[in-house]
Every structure is written in structure tokens, then in C-alpha cells.
Amino acid sequence: MEISLQERLNKLLDAYSHQYDIDRDVEVEGFVYPATATYYLRDENYLISKQHVLSAVEQHEYLYFYLTDHLTAEDLQSQIDLSKRAGLGKVKPHKDHMFSNVGLIVLANTISPEARKLIQKTRFRKNYKLSLYGWTEYQLAAMEASTNCFFSNPAGKGAKKIMEQNFAPKTGRGK
């Protein structure tokens, strides 16, 4: 029995929901993403009491989920540009900011060879005040449902791994 893209999205969002805040049907510049996921972590070290913060670190991630029947390079590039603009608009660098990653996760039935190449070559990194105020990297990961293949750029390997854990066929011992 073949699983629809919407069912795959629901399963993937369930995996992300343990650490991320999930929002459904999010409009960004006139386009509606079926879901977004936001991660926020603040870690503080104290000196004697909480009034004396010795150091603090903040980490953010803004993920956009996109579903399509066939992914072309042109469609992918427009989604990359849109999600990057939307995510960078949320980044607020300051002295406690470590990183704010922005990402796009694509679930498609088929992916064109040009789009596969674009996924693997897409790179973006921005440093704030020589990295003293943190950085941003763009994560990109995609799944081709018809072949059960997974693709990512170097920064999107974590998202690719989550998709593989949820959708790759189980083989070998420990099925």
C-alpha cells in the first residue's frame, strides 16, 4: 500500500514534534506551506544565583515543509528563495545568539535530475559580526517517494537522516 505525501508529512511532523513547535498552513508572501517547525533553545550558566548569568547561548531553527507531485529545478529555486527570505526575517542576532538555521524539507513523488543537482550544490552561510553574534546556515533535504531516495545539501544531513529513519525500508538485524 502506497503512502500519500500528506501521510508522510504527518509522520515526519510527528517525529519533529518532540523538539519543535509545529504550525500548519502557514502563509509566507502569498504562498501557503503545509507546515513549519520552529526550534528554540536557551542554555544559561550562572554564578551563584540566576541573577548573575555567566554565559548564555541561544539556538534557533526555522523549517519549512513543501509537498509537490514533481519537483523541478525552477520550482525548487523559488521555494529556496522564499523559505530563505522568510527564515532570515526571523533571525535576531545578539551577543547570546549562537545560530539560527533555516531549512526547507521537500516531499515529492518525483524529482528531476536538475533539481537533485540543485539540492546537493545549494549552500548558504551568513556570519553576524565575525560570528561573535552567531551564524545562519541553510538546510535543504528532499525525499523522492516513488524511489524512496533521499537527498540533501551538506547542512541538511540532519533532516535527511530523520527522513531516512522514518521512511527508509528496514533491513538486516533489528527490523
134 is in which domain, residue-wise? 5-167
The reply to whether 174 falls in a domain is no
What's the rounded Cα separation, in Å, for the pair 10 and 50? 39
The reply to whether 126 falls in a domain is yes
Residue 32 contacts residue 26 (beta carbons within 8 Å) = yes
Element (H, E) at 159: helix 157-167
Residue 22 contacts residue 16 (beta carbons within 8 Å) = yes
The reply to whether 122 falls in a domain is yes
Listed residue (124, 83, 89) closest to 105, CA to CA: 83
The reply to whether 175 falls in a domain is no
The reply to whether 172 falls in a domain is no
Task: List per-residue pLDDT tens for the chain, 175 residues long.
Answer: 578 899 999 999 999 999 999 999 999 999 999 999 999 998 888 888 888 877 889 999 999 999 999 999 999 999 999 999 999 999 999 998 999 999 999 999 999 999 999 999 999 999 999 989 999 999 999 999 999 999 999 999 999 999 999 988 776 555 5
pLDDT value of residue 173: 55
pTM over 0.85? The answer is yes
For the chain, the domain total comes to 1
The reply to whether 24 falls in a domain is yes
Residue 94 contacts residue 133 (beta carbons within 8 Å) = yes
Number of Cβ atoms within 10 Å of the Cβ of 34: 17
